[in-house]
């Protein structure tokens, strides 16, 4: 049986440094998006409803139960 020796060749990859001012707009976007998603999952029904009817509620119904929101 022949044995083959493999020598791994590794090269270092430089990771760019990200400054806080470059990251701030993306962080703000993520916060707004997350807040919007939580609103639609948790509060989009009843008196605080933005959209009439139950279409949004039924669309996110299973996600509400998964996250522990009571809805019925």
Q: How many domains does the chain have?
A: 1
Whether residue 55 lies inside any domain: the answer is yes
Q: Is 57 part of any domain? A: yes
Residue 54's domain comprises 20-66
pTM: 0.54
| pLDDT for 64 | 78
Q: Classify residue 12: in a domain, yes or no.
A: no
Q: Which two tokens stand for residue 38?
A: 């939580």
Taking only the tens place, the pLDDT of each residue in 10-68 is: 788 887 888 888 899 999 999 999 998 887 777 766 666 677 777 777 777 787 788 78
């Amino acid at each position: 049986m022949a044995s083959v020796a493999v020598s791994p060749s590794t090269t270092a990859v430089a990771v760019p440094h990200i400054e806080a001012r470059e990251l701030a707009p993306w962080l703000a976007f993520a916060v707004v998006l997350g807040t919007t998603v939580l609103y639609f999952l948790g509060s989009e029904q009843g008196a605080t409803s933005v959209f009439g009817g139950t279409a949004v509620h039924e669309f996110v119904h299973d996600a509400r139960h998964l996250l522990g929101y009571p809805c019925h």
